[in-house]
C-alpha cells in the first residue's frame, strides 16, 4: 500500500498530515510512505527527520507511483486527486459540504472526510475535529494574552498588586474547555457560559465560574440546538454586563449546519474598555460577535476583535501530531492485511464517505 503526504497549499497552513511517529507506525503496518519535500518543515518536521522515520522524500508526488491513499490536512485540488489510483482514497479535513461535487466527479476514488466521522466511542481515536479544536482553544488564549496590554495572573510586587485578568469563554465544547484550562493556568479569573446545562459541572471542574444564563438540553447528536429569539435575547441581556467587564473574551459557539449564533452585539463590544480583546473562533461560520471578520483583526472603539481562521495551524507541531494520529487510526481501520478496504457499511467509515445525497437522506 502506497501512502502519499503532500505539501499543503492553503494560505498560511503550517500543519502536515503526518509525523515521524506515524510514518514509523504506517511502515510497521506494511505501507510505503512518500512525503513531498518540505511538507513538514513549518511543523518542525524536517525532511531528514521524516526520512529517518522511514519516509521516501520526493520533490513531488507526481514523481511516484499512483497512491492508494492521499493524506491531507486541507481539501486537495483536482490535480492532487489525480495522483490516486482507481479504488484509492483521499482522507483528511475535506470540507465536504463545499467540495462534495468535485470529489464525486473523481469517480475512481473515495473521499473520506474526517469532519463527517460519527461522534461515537468507535471513532473517538479518529476525532480530528476534537483534536484540532483542542489546539485551537489553546492558541486562542495565547493570541488574546499576547494582544492584551496587561498581565493575565495576579502579581504582588514592590510596585503594588496587579489584579488578575478576567477572561470570559462563550461556548464550552472541546475548544472552550481547553481555553478555560489554559486561561486558568495563566492565572486569570475565568467565567464561562454554554447553552447546555451539563457544561456547568465541566466549567467548575476546571476552576471556572459558570455564568447564570438560560440553558437548554442538547440535541440527539450531542450538539447545542439553535435557540429561539426570546432565549437569545435573555442570553445577551445577562451576558452583556460580564462581557463589558472582561479583559479577554473568547467565543467558540457553533451549531452544525447553521450560521454561528450571535452572542455579542456591537453595542456590547463598545461597552468594553479600550485595549481589551475578543477572539471570535466562530468568525468563519458567521461569527458569534457582530463585526468580526474571518482572518482579520477589527478594532471597535479600541477593542481588538480577532476572527482567526488558522488557530490550530499556529501550533503546528502538536496539532499535526494529533491529526496524524487520528489519520493513522482511520487508515488502520480501512486496511486489511496491508490492503485498502473501503467498506460503506462500516459504522465509522461509512458516514465519513462523501456521497451524493438521495431524496430520503
Is 150 in the same domain as 95? Answer: no
* 5 strand-pairing partners: 35
Provide the Cα torsion 186, 141, 274, 232; round to 10°: -120
DSSP 82: T
How many residues in the chain? Answer: 361
**For the chain, how long is the longest CA-to-CA vector?**
71
Clarify whether residues 270 and 171 are in a common domain: yes
Helix or strand or coil: residue 24?
Answer: helix
pLDDT at 220: 58
User: Could you tell me if residue 245 is inside a domain?
Assistant: yes
What count of Cα atoms within 13 Å lies in the side-chain half-sphere of residue 273? Answer: 12
Task: Answer yes or no: do 292 and 172 share one domain.
Answer: yes
What φ, ψ does residue 185 adopt, rounded to 5°?
Answer: -60, -30
Query: Does 320 lie in the same domain as 305?
Result: no
Residue 197 lies in a domain: yes
Catalytic residue flag (residue 119):
yes
126-184 residue pLDDT tens = 999 999 999 999 999 999 999 999 999 999 999 999 999 999 999 999 999 999 999 99
User: What DSSP state is assigned to residue 331?
Assistant: H
Res 248: pLDDT: 98
Instruction: Count the Cβ atoms, other than its own, within 10 Å of residue 256.
Output: 10
> Strands across the sheet with 56-58, in order?
56-58, 32-36, 2-5, 67-72, 84-92, 110-113
Q: Of 223, 236, 265, 309, which is the active-site residue? A: 223
pLDDT at 221: 56
Residue 215 has a pLDDT of 82
Are 142 and 108 in the same domain?
A: no
Same domain, 106 and 232: no
Q: Are residues 99 and 174 in the same domain?
A: no
Give me the catalytic one of 106, 125, 130, 147: 130
Per the annotation, the verdict on 212 as an active-site residue is no
100 in a structural domain: yes
Question: Same domain, yes or no, for 81 and 190?
Answer: no
Predicted local confidence at residue 359, as pLDDT: 47
Q: Given 11, 78, 119, 205, which residue is catalytic?
A: 119
Both 286 and 168 in one domain: the answer is: yes
Are 126 and 326 spatial neighbours (Cβ–Cβ below 8 Å)? yes
| pLDDT single digits (tens) 20-42 | 999 999 999 999 999 999 999 99
Query: Is 321 noted as a catalytic residue in this protein?
Result: no
202 is catalytic: no
Beta bridge partners of 189: 166
Catalytic one among 37, 106, 116, 124? 124
Q: What is the pTM of this model?
A: 0.92
Residue 51 lies in a domain: yes
Q: Is residue 356 part of a domain?
A: no
Summary mean pLDDT of the chain: 93
E strands present in the chain: 2-5, 32-36, 56-58, 67-72, 84-92, 110-113, 155-157, 160-162, 166-170, 189-193, 209-210, 248-251, 277-280, 297-300, 303-306, 335-336, 339-340
Q: The domain containing residue 294 runs over which residues?
A: 135-312
**Are residues 33 and 18 in contact, defined by beta-carbon separation less than 8 angstroms?**
yes
Q: Which of 19, 68, 103, 127 is catalytic?
A: 127
Q: What is the pLDDT of residues 341-357, one digit of tens each?
A: 999 999 999 999 998 66
Query: Exposed (0-12), middle (13-18) or buried (19+): which is 2, by Cβ within 10 Å?
Result: buried
245 noted as active-site residue: no
Cell numbers describing residue 213: 444564563
Domain match, 247 and 329 both: no
Number of domains making up the chain: 2
What DSSP string runs through 209-258? EE---------TTSPPPPPPHHHHHHHHHHHHHHHHT-SEEEE----TTS
Q: Which conformational region is residue 22 in: left (phi greater than 0), alpha (psi within -120 to 50 degrees), or beta?
A: alpha
Examine the domain organization and report whether 148 and 295 are in the same domain.
Answer: yes
- Low-confidence residues of the chain: pLDDT under 70: 217-227, 256-257, 356-361
Amino acid at each position: 500500500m502506497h501512502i502519499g503526504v503532500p505539501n499543503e497549499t492553503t494560505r498560511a497552513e503550517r500543519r502536515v498530515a503526518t509525523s515521524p511517529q506515524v510514518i514509523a507506525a504506517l511502515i510497521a503496518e506494511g505501507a510505503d510512505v512518500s512525503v513531498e519535500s518540505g511538507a513538514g518543515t513549518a511543523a518542525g518536521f524536517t525532511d531528514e527527520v521524516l526520512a529517518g522515520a522511514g519516509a521516501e522524500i520526493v520533490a513531488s508526488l507526481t514523481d511516484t507511483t499512483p497512491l492508494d491513499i492521499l493524506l491531507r490536512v486541507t481539501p486537495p485540488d483536482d490535480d492532487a486527486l489525480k495522483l490516486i489510483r482507481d479504488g484509492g482514497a483521499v482522507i483528511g479535513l475535506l470540507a465536504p459540504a463545499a467540495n462534495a461535487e468535485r470529489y464525486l466527479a473523481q469517480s475512481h476514488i473515495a473521499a473520506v472526510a474526517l469532519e463527517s466521522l460519527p461522534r461515537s466511542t468507535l471513532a473517538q481515536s479518529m476525532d480530528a475535529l476534537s483534536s484540532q479544536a483542542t489546539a485551537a482553544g489553546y492558541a486562542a488564549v495565547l493570541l488574546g494574552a499576547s494582544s492584551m496590554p496587561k498581565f493575565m495572573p495576579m502579581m504582588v510586587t514592590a510596585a503594588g498588586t496587579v489584579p488578575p485578568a478576567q477572561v470570559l469563554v462563550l461556548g464550552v465544547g472541546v475548544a472552550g474547555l481547553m481555553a478555560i484550562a489554559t486561561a486558568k493556568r495563566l492565572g486569570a479569573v475565568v467565567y464561562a457560559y454554554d447553552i447546555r446545562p451539563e457544561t456547568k459541572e465541566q466549567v467548575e471542574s476546571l476552576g471556572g465560574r459558570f455564568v447564570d444564563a438560560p440553558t437548554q438540553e442538547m440535541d440527539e447528536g450531542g450538539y447545542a440546538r439553535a435557540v429561539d429569539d426570546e432565549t437569545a435575547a435573555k442570553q445577551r441581556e445577562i451576558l452583556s454586563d460580564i462581557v463589558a467587564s472582561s479583559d479577554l473574551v473568547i467565543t467558540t459557539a457553533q451549531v452544525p449546519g447553521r450560521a454561528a449564533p450571535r452572542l455579542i452585539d456591537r453595542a456590547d463590544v463598545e461597552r468594553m474598555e479600550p485595549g481589551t480583546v475578543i477572539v471570535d473562533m466562530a468568525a468563519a461560520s458567521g461569527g458569534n460577535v457582530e463585526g468580526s471578520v474571518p482572518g482579520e483583526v477589527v478594532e471597535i472603539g479600541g477593542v481588538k476583535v480577532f476572527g482567526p481562521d488558522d488557530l490550530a495551524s499556529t501550533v503546528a507541531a502538536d496539532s499535526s501530531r494529533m491529526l496524524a494520529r487520528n489519520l493513522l487510526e482511520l487508515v488502520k481501520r480501512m486496511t486489511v492485511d496491508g490492503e485498502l478496504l473501503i467498506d460503506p457499511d462500516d459504522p465509522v467509515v461509512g458516514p465519513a464517505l462523501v456521497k451524493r445525497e438521495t431524496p430520503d437522506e
